[in-house]
Structures are given as structure tokens and as C-alpha cells.
């Protein structure tokens, strides 16, 4: 029974009782091309409809999905406004080089604006911070202390060490050098 039904999908053959002739050339190519274009357009329509229905089900209200990424200073390039602790003063030490070089540094610590806890804790631990800074710069060589890139690295290392090892109830956000002189 299935053999008796002819769907007519074979474009180049016609069943006319044994007298089959093959149609060739441009006459057979155009219907075949149109058939495949129609199949492609139908597939695209089906895919679009499935995606729209799926997105509507996922959103439940039909509105589009919008991802909002919070804009922090890390992504926008803007720095936050900080209060600066400037009472540490100048620290003098020498490098590990042979012969050693003299280092004179003045450091300021940045913390969140109006963070009274950080200000109080930094003040209470000022002697520990000065001692840490003296030991830190004494462990460095001349080459590790010179250059803008090295200053950024030093600043990050000092910030992380003070936050991890000295401060307990607050965190500093930034470390800047008002003076960093290496005298050979």
C-alpha cells in the first residue's frame, strides 16, 4: 500500500506505465532548488518560533532578559573617594644590597570615606605599621624599589600585608607614596 502512493519527490522521474522519460536540464533543476529553499525557510521559521516560546516560558512574563552588571571601580576605571591617614611620617632604612642604599619613604594609607573604625584602628596600630614598613623596605633591593611599575607592585604588597597581618576590624583600600627616595 505504501508503494502505491507517490509523493512526487523524485523530480526527475514520472511514472507513466513503463514509459518513463527522464526530465533533465533547467526544467528539473528549478523545482528541486525551490523545494530545498522552502525546506530551509521552514526550518528557520521553526527554530525562531521555538526560541521565542522558550524565552517566554523562561521569563514567565514575556519581557526580554536583561543582565545588569554592577559598575564598580574595577570595571569603570574610576577610583573611589578615600580618606587618607597621613600621620605615619617618614621612614628611613637601608636596602639588602651590598653596599646598601638608603631608603627614605613616606607612606599614606587610604581607607573608605567616613570609616571611623579604620581610622581608629590605623591610629592604634601605627607603631606596628611603621615597624612593618621599615622591615619591608629593608628586605628589598635597589632594583625592586625603583620605577613606576615597581611602585604599583610595592603598593599592592604593602596594602595586602597590612590588611592580612596587622589590621583586624577594618581594611585599607590603597597605599600611596608621598616620598620614595633610594639614595646610593
* Phi, psi (rounded to 5 degrees) for 166: -110, -55
- Cα separation values, 51 from 45, 55, 64, 155, 168, Å: 10, 6, 12, 50, 52
Cα–Cα distance measured from residue 124 to residue 167, given in angstroms and rounded to the nearest whole number: 10
DSSP 3-state assignment of 156? helix
* Sign of CA pseudo-dihedral 46, 49, 50, 51: positive
Confidence of residue 30 (pLDDT cuts 50, 70, 90): confident
pLDDT tens for each residue of 76-131: 566 678 999 999 999 999 999 889 999 999 999 999 998 899 999 999 999 999 99
Query: For residue 17, is it left (φ>0), alpha (ψ between -120 and 50) or beta?
Result: left
pLDDT tens for each residue of 46-63: 999 999 888 888 777 545
> What would the grid cell of residue 42 be?
521552514
Amino acid at each position: 500500500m505504501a508503494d502505491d502512493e507517490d509523493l512526487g519527490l523524485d523530480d526527475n522521474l514520472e511514472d507513466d506505465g513503463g514509459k518513463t522519460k527522464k526530465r533533465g536540464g533547467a526544467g528539473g533543476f528549478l523545482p528541486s532548488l525551490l523545494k530545498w529553499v522552502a525546506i530551509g525557510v521552514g526550518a528557520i521559521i521553526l527554530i525562531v518560533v521555538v526560541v521565542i516560546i522558550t524565552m517566554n516560558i523562561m521569563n514567565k512574563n514575556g519581557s526580554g532578559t536583561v543582565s545588569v552588571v554592577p559598575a564598580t571601580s574595577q570595571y569603570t576605571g574610576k577610583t573611589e573617594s578615600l580618606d587618607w591617614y597621613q600621620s605615619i611620617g617618614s621612614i628611613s632604612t637601608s636596602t639588602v644590597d651590598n653596599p646598601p642604599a638608603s631608603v627614605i619613604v613616606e607612606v599614606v594609607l587610604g581607607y573608605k570615606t567616613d570609616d571611623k573604625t579604620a581610622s581608629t584602628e590605623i591610629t592604634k596600630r601605627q607603631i606596628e605599621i611603621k615597624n612593618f614598613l621599615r622591615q619591608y623596605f629593608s628586605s628589598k633591593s635597589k632594583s625592586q624599589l625603583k620605577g613606576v611599575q615597581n611602585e604599583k607592585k610595592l603598593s599592592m604588597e604593602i596594602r595586602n600585608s597590612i590588611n592580612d597581618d596587622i589590621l583586624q576590624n577594618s581594611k585599607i583600600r590603597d597605599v600611596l607614596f608621598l616620598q620614595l627616595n633610594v639614595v646610593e
